Chains A and B, each alone.
Chain A
Amino acid sequence: MFTTPLRRWLAFAPAYMWLILFAFVPLVIMLGFSFLSDVPFGRREPYLTFDNYASFFERALYQRLLGNSLGIAAWTTIGCLIIGYPLALVLARVIKGRWQAALFLLMIVPFWSSSLIRIYAWVSVLQRGGVIAQALGLFGIEIESLLYTYSSIIVGLVHAFLPYMVLTVYVAIDRIDRAYFEAAASLGAHPWRTFVKILFPLSLPGVLSGIILVFIPAVGAFVEPRLLGGPQGQTLGTVIEDLFVESFNWTLGAALSFVMLVVVLLLLVGVVILTRLRSRQT
């Protein structure tokens, strides 16, 4: 009835329409705003300008905030790797059957709740007289609050993004042909050597997608830094939120968002190029 290309087009059309309507068009509108002097509503007469972008380079504040955002995202990614990789490894290679499903469920269930609830849960764990303070109190250790520190932000964000890392790494490890491990074992390779020479290199694509999936949203995070970091939690994300919600300065907010987007894209392109170069060498 339909020719193959048309049928394929029809199959993908809803997905593309969705992407164009809800991702691409808003992005283009925001890009447009970022080059205007004011939002184009009512009697305001906006003109084209680079001022919004210039203010990023003129004000040390924004650069420092971007640095904060990148730093927080980097620590979050490292945290997710350190906790997530062994977890994924155990899930893929050690635990089998029902227990595996149960562990996955344990990891996923908290994410059926709102992210705000999870953040507030961390607040009550970390705050003065909170869960940790009370637990340590049982052993006679008195501590002040653990809230509003740099580490409390990272704890909250690692918790928020851990499943992305675990799932991508798990899939990568699970896909490795078991025959490799059998061959390694039959040739007398120590499990550690098998891990270093076979498992780890073959899981790297999963690690890379995990890093990308964690790092990108973590750069733009503003809720966790604000609620868990207190005065430590100033990021470019919190300022962009202020610009949109508090001071109605959409044009500057849009420009700062695009600066962030470009910096993140450049970083990721750098990572991808580096990994390509390395894999070519080996």
Chain B
Amino acid sequence: MNRSAILIITLLILAAPLSLSVSHAQATEFYVLNWQGYGSDEPWAIAQFEEAHNVTIVHDYFTSLDEMLTKLITSPGVYDAVEMNIAYLQPALEDGLIQPIDVSQITAWEDIPETFRNLPELAQGGDSIYGIPWTYGATSLVYNTDVFPDGINTLSVLWDPQFAGQVGMIDAYEDASILAGLYTGAVENPAAPTEDDIPTIQSSLETLAANVRTYWASEDEFNRLFESGEISLGVYWSGSAARARNAFNLPLEFVIPEEGAIGWVDVWTIAADAPNPELAVEWLNFMNDPEFYLEWDRVAGAPVPANSVTFEQLPEDSYTRQLFSDTSVLNRLAFQTYIPAETREALLEMWQEVKLFAS
């Protein structure tokens, strides 16, 4: 193979991403960017929206929120509606990737609890709103009700040497750092630790490491560990806890302990150069429509809806409903917020060291 042939092949590879934006220019398609399998790509929902608005929905997916930002940066004018964690509204706005939303056009806006509407992340210090809360959930303590029949209401069990080797810890550096901050009470804003907080967090997590049986990374992994009795305590996602109880009958209880827990809020946004901004507003309304949401929850299991009207219509026996109907729970959640890239990198390095040297 000669040099020019190699050059041509290389150019072809590099040009491949361009074809996406070129082909888009002449099509009447509506581009949605979200996690895969996260409600918006339910086939029945797509069919419903496509029929109602005479469009073709094209889904694109990301596997990390940083990848979501990268996709928005590299493909301006392609995406219409974009789903993200509120923590990422700040970098998205700083890079000029999202546009303000006229909340008077958002049907469910008044039905979203003030706790969420007043989150500073939504307005980013200005008057406009950039994201419409859609789902939320908690990452917190779970325990085996057979092993702890009296219940637990404190994070300190995870650190208690009595329970060494029984803890299934989540393998996520941000979550671990926030929990350590909540447990020690020595971090000013546990939801957004700074580099000054790292020594406190690190020594706390090193103590925790002695109790950790393993660091899990997926729902399936956690359920297996729990079912086989490898772990009887752990840190888990609220939505997964509900599924573990309903679908797998695991003797598991999810608690938001007295120290608090991690909360996360996901929003829908409209891309800055969205080709179809009016349609995007319709999409946002569709996503927060109780009819869509309840069907999603019924068919696939959904997180907690931010729309209180939807929440009220969840089935009586819904575990999600039991967990979050007490509104005081919301006040005990440390909602994940923007952590600057340098701090995140330092937290990740700290977490890698904790896992390697303290285990």
Interface residues in chain A, defined as those with a beta carbon under 8 Å from any beta carbon in chain B: 13, 16-17, 20-21, 25, 39, 41-44, 59, 61, 64-65, 120, 123-124, 127-130, 145, 147-148, 226-227, 230-232, 234, 239, 242, 245-249
Contacts and interface: CB of A to CB of B under 8 A. Distances in A.
Contacts of A232: 359
B13 interface: yes
Given A148-B213, A231-B359, A248-B66, 17 more contacts: A20-B6, A20-B9, A39-B70, A42-B73, A43-B73, A61-B353, A61-B356, A128-B229, A130-B228, A145-B230, A231-B209, A234-B352, A234-B355, A246-B172, A247-B64, A247-B344, A248-B64
22 contacts: A16-B1, A20-B1, A39-B70, A41-B73, A64-B357, A127-B230, A128-B229, A129-B229, A145-B230, A148-B213, A148-B214, A148-B230, A230-B214, A230-B215, A231-B212, A231-B213, A231-B215, A247-B64, A247-B66, A247-B344, A248-B67, A248-B70
Contacts of A234: 352, 355-356, 359
A42 B359 contact: no
Given A39-B70, A64-B356, A147-B230, A246 B64 contact: yes
B217 interface: yes
Contacts of B172: 246
B345 interface: yes
User: Which 3 residue pairs of A and B lie closest in terms of their CB atoms, listed nearest first?
Assistant: A42-B73, A230-B214, A248-B66
Contact of A42 (B13, B74, B212, B228): B74
A242 B63 CA distance: 12
B348 A247 contact: yes
B78 to A, nearest CB: 13
Interface string B2-38: 0000100110010000000000000000000000000
A245 B355 CA distance: 18
Most chain A CB inside 10 Å of its own CB: which residue of B67, B217, B349, B357: B217
Given A65-B356, A226-B217, A227-B221, A249 B230 contact: no
B146 interface: no
A230 B209 CA distance: 12
Interface string B284-320: 0000000000000000000000000000000000000
Contacts of A42: 70, 73-74, 95
Contacts of B214: 148, 230-231
A42 B6 CA distance: 26
B245 interface: no
A25 B212 CA distance: 42
Interface in B322-342: none
Contacts of A230: 213-215
A120 B224 CA distance: 10
A281 to B, nearest CB: 41
Contacts of A20: 1, 6, 9
A125 to B, nearest CB: 12
B314 to A, nearest CB: 32
A21 B13 contact: yes
A174 B344 CA distance: 56
Nearest to A230: B214
A65 B10 CA distance: 34
Interface in B188-229: 209, 212-215, 217, 221, 224, 228-229
Interface in B47-65: 63-64
A41 B74 contact: yes
Given A20-B1, A230-B215, A249 B9 contact: no
Contact of B70 (A16, A41, A127): A41
A41 B215 CA distance: 32
Contacts of B6: 20
B9 A21 contact: yes
Contacts of B10: 25
A248 B70 CA distance: 10
